[in-house]
Structure 1
Amino acid sequence: MPKVALTTLGCKVNQFETETMEGLFKKSGYEIVPFEEKADFYVINTCSVTSLGDRKSRQIIRRAQRTNENAIIAVCGCYSQVHPEEIKAIEGVRVVLGTKERSKIVEYVERAAREDGILDEVGNIMDSHEFEDIPIYDMPQRTRAFLKIEDGCQNFCSYCIIPYARGPVKSRHLDKIHSEAKKLVDAGFKEIVLTGIHLGAYGRDLPGDIDLADACREVLKVEGLKRLRLSSLESIEVSPALFQLIRDDERFCAHLHLPLQAGSDSVLKDMNRHYDTAEFGRLIARIENEIPGVAVSTDIIVGFPGETEEQFADSLKFVEQMNFSRMHVFPYSKRSGTPAAARKDQVPEQVKKERAHRMQELASRKTEEFHKSFLGQTMRVLFETNNDGITDGLTDNYIRVYTDSPVESGEIYEVTLEKLYKDGVWGTVKK
């Protein structure tokens, strides 16, 4: 039985795509082995959101080649879509795919094993208008299941390479969303997380007046589903219908990840973001007012080209006013081919690093304040992993809870939150 090892860099969408490819290999009779082991085939699903993602992708490719110099190495994902020539120049690479054609991954690696040279199947992603619908053939090894329902982005934020790597918006049809969600629930998953590259754009390419709320309704129809969660969503795309679903259906997790990116209106304009801080703030206030206990997490980029100390201070001030439950802070990463990369007013690396540190300190304090506000409450926790007798899991509003109470992974328990612990809180299961 041939052995294949797969690995993923980057976002939850990439993670989902790797799992679908793993299912294709299993269906074809391959043995899946850990990436660190010697295998006949290696598949690396790359990321290109930052230059660090590119570098890590190259390092992992070279590591696979060192592990077995005779292996067939296949590389796919955003980095190979944007820079296929860089991938092809790395020793050992035999198959190069972009962000489509992954449904044929088994066919391609087997063809590479029979033929000489490099098999390059990277095409023009801007010509791709159909969602690549790969059924789930194997269940993910987690307690929460991610379900990709959308691909592509047409926002063209001035700093972002992803629209060039993923192409236009492509949506999964509602019937396929329902059938795949049912597979996951029938397999025992209590929570499904809907994910996509530009999730809020779901349905724009489909006939009829279909949007993300319709996709959520299809999943909520599945009998036995306990939780539905959304991955990252643009604030301006929280439609009235979606807001009503989140507010009224108790299975909808009280957690929204809404990227702010900057707390300065002039920087937001330069980023080609389609809102200002006042609009963002009003939405957050409404969400917090109408959804008790809601968690709003966000992304922040510091050191965007031209960002002055005054503009950064505006960002700090705005974030201070928000009750973010969690913040992902990123120093701006220059991506070749984007408008921001061509600007002459790049912020020095040391300044970006210092600003990231200051913003991260604020982020840590915000998270601690959010966690403290729930101490003493009893909340439902879906437990996930166990290490040395301590099991951790998540509340519906994305607080990580740790306990040494006897619990079973993949099950939901009522837990009293008692004290801050690590990156979350410590709790005791209610008897």
Structure 2
Amino acid sequence: MSQNKINIISLGCSKNLVDSELLMKQLDANKFKVCCDEDNSDARIIIINTCGFIGDAKEESVNMILQYADAKKKGMIDILFVMGCLSERYHDELAVEIPEVDKFFGKFEWKSILKELHKEYKPDFSNMRMITTPKHFAYLKISEGCNRACSYCAIPIITGKHISRPVEEILEEAKGLAESGVKELLVIAQDLSYYGQDLYGKLMLAELVEKLSKIEGIEWIKLHYAYPTQFPYDILKVMRENPKVCRYLDIALQHSSDNVLGLMRRGINREKTVELINRIRKEVPGITLRTTMLVGHPGETEADMEDLKAFVKEMKFERLGVFPYSNEEDTYAAINYTDDIPQEVKEARKDEIMEIQMEISRQANQKRIGAKMKVIIDRKDEDFYYGRTEFDSYEVDPEVLISSQNFNLKIGQFCNVEVTDAEDYDLFAVVI
């Protein structure tokens, strides 16, 4: 057992993972031995970075805290800290309900965590991280918080208003990542569309991405979590003309029905949404669009669901996920609407959309048989190497499977392949 070892359990989204990596660097700089999500760890200090976004994520976080609280009662660990979104939002309630936790911290209270461990925050390492992803790619968070007023979302309550990071600070971090071997940057934020407006008085996403693309060693840049309202159209020219910027965009649309979009307070309607998608596809030929839909929002009718199903069939998004509505305390929806759609109905609506999407994906994949594509290799097992094209992001998107019996590849290597077969989501290929 290691008294000086800390195991960070990082739950939730990639933005949370970046926070964990920043804290890990500070702990490492203070001579702790640090690991992340290590199974059967001998660490005597556990820090859980929680998620508090929707019901399922909150339940996962609470169950993880209870698991390690039980381990502490049994003497298997010495110190248990909890941080992150759930802790930020429910600090007082959690402290009463789970007294085994030594201390609860807010989302960004890294200095307080270090102080509790009798260590100091080191400013020289403030822009550095211990990367927990495969070393050839990393997430790059360019802002915190959100200024939107979506009815269902608790993010502004948890993280506050949108705060853009300065361009120079982001570039400095990205250069450090590239020097450590990172080839692919997965640019993330709660709202990419708004980047720069608060800090520079104008939307700056396109300018930032252009500068990131000039960093030596970076070969791919992918953009995640744009907002459809006030979309920064100048990024499309960059995506079309800059070979390092992947033709991939994650843009959460949530719904198509004017009724539901109004109830959600999204600031956009169906007509404007279709115009946006058509313009993106026209200006960036061959782009892959990933989006998410939210079903079961209070006030969503059967007619609204029919509209959404027709919309998904019409737009044929290359990548799509669906979430059932979760009633979150203190949000506009929780205060002003009644969550009167049964959970089983929400789940059934989710399944309906995903069944439609599976057929869309299957047909699109069949058309890719015979296509030649560039992939980056992420991992390997006994049978296959698993890679991604520029049209796929890590963990959330399909993979390209290449026989590990016939080819000798390296993790993090780029290679050109020809697609030989396809399933509903994944592709099979050979190296050419």
TM-score, reference length from structure 2: 0.90
1:313 and 1:188 mapped to 2: Cα distance? 47
Match of 2:208 in 1: 215
Match of 2:155 in 1: 162
Q: Which amino acid aligns with 1:8?
A: S
Alignment of structure 1 residues 1-400 onto 2, 5 Å:
2-33=4-35, 34=38, 36-69=40-73, 70-89=77-96, 90-110=98-118, 134-142=126-134, 143-209=136-202, 211-342=204-335, 343-344=337-338, 346-398=340-392, 399-400=398-399
Tell me if structure 2 keeps the 8 A contact 1:254–1:295: yes
Match of 1:130 in 2: none
1:38 and 1:65 mapped to 2: Cα distance? 16
Match of 2:428 in 1: 426
| Deviation at residue 36 of structure 1 after TM alignment | 3.8
- Cα offsets for 1:223-261 (capped at 9, x unmatched): 221011111111234323211111110110111111111
Q: Which amino acid aligns with 2:217?
A: G
Q: Which amino acid aligns with 1:101?
A: E
Tell me if structure 1 keeps the 8 A contact 2:237–2:284: no
1:297 and 1:110 mapped to 2: Cα distance? 44
Secondary structure at 1:242's aligned position in 2? helix
- Cα offsets for 1:240-294 (capped at 9, x unmatched): 3211111110110111111111121110010000111221112222222232321
- Cα offsets for 1:181-234 (capped at 9, x unmatched): 111111111100111122222112214545212221221121221011111111
| Deviation at residue 389 of structure 1 after TM alignment | 3.4
Going from structure 1 to structure 2, the CA distance change for 1:267 and 1:293 (only over 3 Å counts) comes to same
1:210 and 1:257 mapped to 2: Cα distance? 18
Q: Please say which of residues 215-224 and 388-397 is displaced more in the overlay.
A: 215-224
1:295 and 1:207 mapped to 2: Cα distance? 30
2:268 and 2:54 mapped to 1: Cα distance? 24
Going from structure 1 to structure 2, the CA distance change for 1:208 and 1:272 (only over 3 Å counts) comes to closer
Going from structure 1 to structure 2, the CA distance change for 1:138 and 1:350 (only over 3 Å counts) comes to closer
Question: Which residues of structure 1 form unaligned runs of 5+?
Answer: 112-132
Identity of aligned residues (%): 28
Q: Please say which of residues 61-70 and 156-165 is displaced more in the overlay.
A: 61-70
Secondary structure at 2:271's aligned position in 1? helix
TM-score, reference length from structure 1: 0.90
1:139 and 1:51 mapped to 2: Cα distance? 28
Secondary structure at 1:314's aligned position in 2? helix
Match of 1:403 in 2: 402
Q: Which amino acid aligns with 2:68?
A: A
- Cα offsets for 1:277-322 (capped at 9, x unmatched): 2211122222222323211011011111011111111111111101
| Deviation at residue 107 of structure 1 after TM alignment | 2.3
Q: Please say which of residues 273-282 and 338-347 is displaced more in the overlay.
A: 338-347
1:17 and 1:369 mapped to 2: Cα distance? 38
Q: Which amino acid aligns with 1:28?
A: N
Match of 1:125 in 2: none
1:289 and 1:413 mapped to 2: Cα distance? 28
